[in-house]
Amino acid sequence: MHKTLGVSLGLAVLLASGGAMAGKDLDAIKAKGHVVCGVPTGTAGFALADSQGKWVGLDVDVCRAVSAAIFGDSEKVKYVPLTAQQRFTALQSGEVDMLSNNTTWTLTRDTALGFDFGAVTYYDGQAFMVSKKLGVKSAKELNGATICVQPGTTTELNLADYFRANKMTFKPVVIEKVEEVRAAFFSGRCDVYTNDSSALYSTRVANVPAGQSPDDYIVLPEIISKEPLAPVMRHGDNQFVDIVRWTQYAMIEAEEYGITSKNVDEMLKSENPAIKRMLGVTPGMGKALGVDEKWAYNIVKLVGNYGESFDRHVGKDSILKIDRGLNRLWSQGGLQYAPPIR
Amino acid sequence: MAVEALGSAPRTKVAPWNDPTVRGWVFQVVVVGLVGLLAWYLVDNTITNLERQKIASGFHYLGREAGFEIGDTMVEYSPASTYARAIYVGMLNTLKVSVLGIIMATFLGTLLGIGRLSNNWLLSKICEWYVEAFRNVPLLLWLFLFYKLISEAFPGPRQAISAFWGTVFLSNRGVYFPVPLADAVFKWMGVALLVAIAGAWALHRWARRRQDATGQPFPSIIAGTGLIVGLPVLVWLLGGAPHHMSWPALKGFNFDGGSVIQPEFTALLFGLVLYTSAFVAEIVRSGILALHKGQTEAAAALGLTRGQSMRLVLLPQALRVIVPPMTSQYLNITKNSSLAIAIGYPDLVASINVTINQTGQAIENVLIIMAAYLSVSLSISAFMNWYNKRIALRER
C-alpha cells in the first residue's frame, strides 16, 4: 500500500508539473533564468563532462547557443545527462526544456510522441564497426554475426530491417548502459558494434581499452540509415521552438558568411545587408523571434559558427577527426543549409 | 445503523460520535473515499495531460510489427512479429530464469544452511564465509563480475574450447551442444513423461497407504523411476526411434546448429542463485535452530543417524519456520531477474523498454509490466501460502 501510494504520488507530481509548463516554456525558462538541456550521458565529441566537470561537445554547443540567444550568456544552461531510454519521458514530463541528445528526427516522434524538432545539427547514419582481425570488408558479409547494440533508439529497428532486407541473420546482444555495450564489444562478446557512425568513431578513438589501438577496428563503409540528429522540444510553445531552430540556422549562416567568434566584432561594421540584419545592426530579426536584437551576435561571439563548433569537438581539431561529409555547407557539397534570416 | 444492530447487546445509549464502532466505520469510509479521490485525480490528470500534449494512448500498438530482434527466445520470434509477441517472449525468458533460479537457490541454500550447522569445522566455516561474501555485496556487482568473467575468460568462437570429442563447444558466445532434430515424436514423449510422473506419484501414495495399513513395503521409488524413464523411451521406440542430431559447427562468425546457453543467461542465473542461496541458507539455519534441542536428542536416542534425524525429524518441523520467509526470497529472485537489463539478457523489462521507446506508450507499458510482475508474484505467494497451510502444525 505504502509503495503504491509513493509511486502514484511521484507520478502525480510528474504529470502535474508536465501540465503546468505546457505552452509557456519560454516564459518559464526566462523566469528561472536558465535552460534545462537534456544531453547524452557521455559521448566523446558530442557531450562529455571534462576533468573540471564542465560539459563540452557539439550537442552541448547547441544548448549554449540557445542560452546565448535567450540570455546573452552561453553558460545559463543546466545539463541533465539522459540515456536514450529516459530522454523522451524527461522531456514529456517537463523535467528538461529541450533535448540536444543525438535524437533522430522521425515522423512518429514528431507527431504521436508530442514533440517538435529544431534544425538538423548533425547528419548522421548508422554503421557497423568490426575488429580488423575478422577480415570483413563490407556489411554484406556479416551474415550470422553477433551484434552489440544499445536499446531504445532507432538503431535496433534499422539493424533488423537491414538484415531482413539482405536476407541475413544475426544475434543481438542488447545492453542498456553504453559503457557495458562497449565493454562487451571490445571483449569479443560480439563481432560487431552498431550505432550512428559518429558514435562509432567516437567510441573507436575514446573508449578502446588499454592494450588495443583504434587501428585494430574499422567502421565498415555501409551507412544503413538516415539519422538526422536534431534538438527536440515539447509541442505547445512555438516561440521557443522557433528560437531553437533559428539558433542553429544562425550558426550555419554565420559560417556561410565567414563570421567567426574571432571576427564577429569587425563584422558588425560590414556593409552586407544580410550580415547587418543577422547581427542586429539592422534591427527587426530579434524582435520577430522575441529575443534580444544581438541574439545572433551573441551566439557567434560566445559559441562560434557551425564550422567552428564542428571542428572543435568532432572535426579536424578534435581527437575524433570525423570528416565533415554530409555536414559540409550546401555551398561546399554538403547538406547544411539555412533558410535566409530576413 | 445496521452496524449497531449487529452488536446488539443491550447497553447504555451513547452518542454516535462516542461509539467506537460507528467511529471506526466513519474513519474507514473517509480513508477509502480519500484514496479513491486521489486515484481518480491521478487518472483524470494523466488523461487530460496526455490529451493536451497530443500523445496518443491505448493498447492498439500491441498488434503492430515490433521490428526489433531478440537474442534469446524460447518460442518462434522474428522482427516481423508483433509487440505483444515480443513482450510474451520477454515474459517467458523472465519465467525461465526465475523458475530455474528458485529451484537451484533452494537446493544450494538448503545444503549451505545445513552445512553451516555441521560439526565439521572446515565445512561450517566455508559455508559461513560463502554466506557473508554473497549477501554483503550487491547483486548487480555479482552480475557484472560473472558476465565479465565469462566474456573475458573464454576465447572467441574461432578458438572455442571443445569438449566431449568435439561435440560441445565453450566460447564467449556461450556453450554450444548438440540437440536432437525436432520430430513430432518428442511432443508425445513429453506427454508420456507427464503421465509417468503423475503415475509414479499415485503409485507412491498407494504404496505408502498400503504400508501404513498392512506394513508391507513396496519399492515405489524404484518402480516410479522406472516408470518415468521407461514410458518416454517406450514412446520414442514406438515412434520409430528418431535419432538425427543437430550438431554445432563453426560457420562464419559463430557456431551454427545445436543449441546454446548464452553467457547473459548463465551470468544472470549464477548471480541470482549464488546471491539468493546465501539468504536461503540463513533462513534454513534459523529454521533448524528454532527447534528445541530435545528434538535432536530424542532423534539420537531413537538411534537415528545424523542424516536421518535431519531428514526425518528436523527438516520437516523446521519447514514451518522456513516457508514464510522463503516466499519473500522467491519473490526477490523473480523481481531481481529484472537486473538482466544490465548484462543484456532479454527479459520482460528489456522487451518492454524497447517497446516504450519505439512506441512512446510509457504508461501503458508500465501498466503491463506491473501487471506481469504482480501476477507472477501473487502466484508464487498463493502457492507458498497453500504449501505453508499444508505443512502447518495441525493442532488437535
The model's pLDDT over A165-206, given as tens digits with 9 standing for 90+, comes to 999 989 899 888 888 899 899 988 899 999 988 889 888 888
Contact yes or no for B350/A151 (Cβ under 8 A): yes
Instruction: Tell me which residue has cell 467511529.
Output: B23
Residues across chain A: 342
**Can you give the pLDDT at residue A208?**
87
A157 band by pLDDT with thresholds 50, 70 and 90: confident
Choose from B65, B144, B158, B253 for mutation: most chain A CBs within 10 A. B253
The answer to whether the Cβ–Cβ distance between A8 and B39 falls below 8 Å is: yes
Interchain CB contact of B8 with A (< 8 Å): no
Q: Is residue A3 over pLDDT 50?
A: no
* CB-based contacts of A316, cutoff 8 Å, min separation 6: none
| pLDDT at residue A67 greater than cutoff 70 | yes
Per-residue pLDDT tens for A248-287? 999 999 999 999 999 999 999 999 999 999 999 999 999 9
Q: Is residue B364 part of a domain?
A: yes
pLDDT at B8: 53
User: Residue A306: which residues within 8 A CB-CB, separation 6 or more?
Assistant: A248, A251, A252, A254, A255, A336
- 3-state helix/strand/coil string of B18-30: HCHHHHHHHHHHH
Question: A172 contacts in B (CB within 8 Å)?
Answer: 68-71
Residue at B273 is within a domain: yes
Q: How confident is the model at residue A15 (pLDDT cuts 50, 70, 90)?
A: very low
At A193 the pLDDT is 95
> Which pLDDT belongs to residue B49?
78
State the pLDDT confidence band at B64, using cuts at 50, 70 and 90. confident
Is B340 inside a domain boundary?
yes
The pLDDT of residue A20: 36
Say yes or no: domain A2-123+229-332 is CATH 3.40.50.300. no
For position B262, which CATH number holds? Answer: 1.10.3720.10
**Above pLDDT 70, what percent of chain B?**
95
Q: Is residue B195 part of a domain?
A: no
Residues in chain A closer than 8 A to B356 (CB atoms): 85, 152
User: How far is Cα A291 from Cα A294, in angstroms, rounded to an integer?
Assistant: 8
For residue B266, what pLDDT is reported?
92
B370 with B252, same domain? yes
Question: Higher-confidence residue: A24 or A155?
Answer: A155
Residue percentage of chain A with pLDDT more than 70: 93
Lowest-confidence region among A46-55, A243-252, A291-300: A46-55
Separation between Cα atoms, residue A150 and residue A193, nearest integer Å: 9
pLDDT band at B57 (very low <50, low <70, confident <90, very high): confident
Q: Do B54 and A177 touch (CB under 8 A)?
A: no
Q: Give CA–CA dist B207/B215, Å, rounded.
A: 10
Task: Give residue A333's region: left, alpha or beta (phi > 0; psi -120 to 50).
Answer: left
**B359 and B288 together in one domain:** yes
* A 234-263 residues with CB < 8 A to B: 234-236
Which residue among B48, B152, B342 places its CB closest to the CB of A177?
B342
Extents of the domains making up chain A: 2-123+229-332, 126-225
User: What's the mean pLDDT in A278-302?
Assistant: 93
Q: Is residue B134 part of a domain?
A: yes
Confidence of residue B6 (pLDDT cuts 50, 70, 90): low
In whole angstroms, give the CA distance from residue B279 to residue B193: 34
Enter the ipTM. Answer: 0.71
**pLDDT tens, residue by residue, B291-301:** 888 888 999 89
Tell me, yes or no, if the two domains A2-123+229-332 and A126-225 fold the same way. yes
Cell numbers 554445432 correspond to what residue? B248
Asked if the Cβ–Cβ distance from B253 to A134 is below 8 Å, we say yes
CB distance A146–B254 less than 8 Å? Answer: yes
- Rounded to a whole number of angstroms, the distance from the CA of A298 to the nearest CA of chain B is 32
Residues B251 and B164 in one domain: yes
* Shared domain check, B358 and B250: yes
Q: Which residues 61-90 of B are in CB contact (within 8 Å) with A?
A: 67-71, 79-80
- The reported pLDDT for the residue numbered B368 is 93
Chain B CB contacts of A84 below 8 Å = 357
Q: Residues of A numbered 139-198 whose beta carbons fall under 8 angstroms of chain B's beta carbons: which are they?
A: 142-146, 151-153, 156-157, 159-161, 163-164, 170-177, 180-181, 183-184, 187-189, 191
CA distance A45 to chain B (A): 25
Both B31 and B100 in one domain: the answer is: no
DSSP string, B348-392: HHHHHHHHHHHH--HHHHHHHHHHHHHHHHHHHHHHHHHHHHHHS
Q: Write down the pLDDT at residue A14.
A: 43
Q: Pick from A89, A112, A160: which is nearest to B69 by CB?
A: A160
Contact between A170 and A159 (Cβ < 8 Å): yes
A200 membership: H or E segment, kind and range: helix A197-206
What phi, psi does B255 have (nearest 5°)? -80, 145
Average pLDDT of the segment spanning B259-275: 92
Instruction: Test B38 with A159 for CB contact under 8 angstroms.
Output: no
What total number of domains does chain B contain?
Answer: 2
Has residue B233 got a pLDDT over 50? yes
Look up cell 565439521; give the residue.
B120
What gap in Å lies between CA A230 and CA A181, rounded to an integer? 24
Q: Closest-CA residue in chain B for A190?
A: B173
- B355 to chain A, minimum CA–CA distance in Å? 8
pLDDT for residue B354 is more than 60: yes
Give me chain A's average pLDDT, please. 88
Q: Would you call A21 an interface residue with chain B, using a CB distance cutoff of 8 Å?
A: no
Q: Which among B313, B331, B357 has a CA at the least distance from the CA of B272?
A: B331
Superfamily, domain A126-225:
Periplasmic binding protein-like II (3.40.190.10)
B396 occurs within a structural domain: no
Predicted confidence at residue B5, as pLDDT, reads 52
pLDDT value of residue A165: 92
Q: How far is CA B7 from CA B19, B27, B263, in A?
A: 12, 18, 65
How buried is B65 (Cβ within 10 angstroms: 0-12 exposed, 13-18 middle, 19+ buried)? Answer: middle
What is residue B153's predicted lDDT score, i.e. its pLDDT? 83
pLDDT confidence tier of residue A212, bands split at 50, 70 and 90: confident
Nearest to A112 among B56, B152, B172 (CB): B56
Residue A27 C-alpha from the chain's centroid:
24
Question: Residue B186: is its pLDDT beyond 60?
Answer: yes
Residues A229 and A221: their CA atoms lie apart, in Å, by 20
Cβ within 8 Å, pair A19-B358: no
Per-residue pLDDT, A115: 92
Residues in chain B within 8 Å Cβ distance of A184? 151, 344
Give the model's pLDDT for residue B333. Answer: 93
Q: Which of B37, B52, B68 to mutate to test the interface with A (most CBs of A within 10 A)?
A: B68
CB atoms under 10 Å from CB of B316, counted, come to 11
Q: Which of B43, B65, B146, B151 to mutate to test the interface with A (most CBs of A within 10 A)?
A: B151
pLDDT averaged over every residue in chain B: 86
Total beta-carbon pairs less than 8 A apart between chain A and chain B: 136
Residues of B in contact with A236 (CB under 8 A): 52-53
Residue A68 in this model has a pLDDT that exceeds 90: yes
- From A34-43, B29-38, B243-252, B338-347, the region with the lowest mean pLDDT: B243-252
pLDDT for residue B395 = 66
Would you say residue A311 has pLDDT above 90? yes
Q: What is the pLDDT of residue B183?
A: 74
Domain hosting residue B19, numbered range: 2-52
Question: In DSSP terms, which residues pair with A104 in a beta bridge?
Answer: A229
Query: Is residue B57 domain-resident?
Result: no
Question: Which residues of chain B make contact with A12, given a CB cutoff of 8 A?
Answer: 38, 41-42, 45
For the segment B102-158, what is each residue's pLDDT rounded down to a tens digit?
A: 999 999 999 999 999 888 999 999 999 999 999 999 999 999 999 988 888 888 887
Q: Do A164 and B80 touch (CB under 8 A)?
A: yes
Place of cell 545444503: B111
pLDDT at residue A5, rounded to an integer: 40
Chain A residues with CB-CB distance to B350 below 8 A: 151, 174
Show residues of chain A in contact with B358, CB under 8 Å. Answer: 157
pLDDT per position as a tens digit, B360-391: 788 889 999 999 999 999 999 999 999 988 88
**In terms of domains, do B262 and B305 share one?**
yes
Q: Judge whether B64 lies within some domain.
A: no
Chain B segment 197-256 residues within 8 A of A by beta carbon are 251-254, 256
The pLDDT value given to residue B383:
92
Edge-to-edge strands, sheet with B174-177: B161-163, B168-171, B174-177, B259-261
Q: In the predicted model, what is the mean pLDDT of residues A316-320? A: 88
CA distances from B242 to A185, B108, B187, B188, B190 (A): 40, 36, 13, 13, 15
Confidence check: pLDDT of B350 > 80: yes
Same domain for B127 and B177: yes
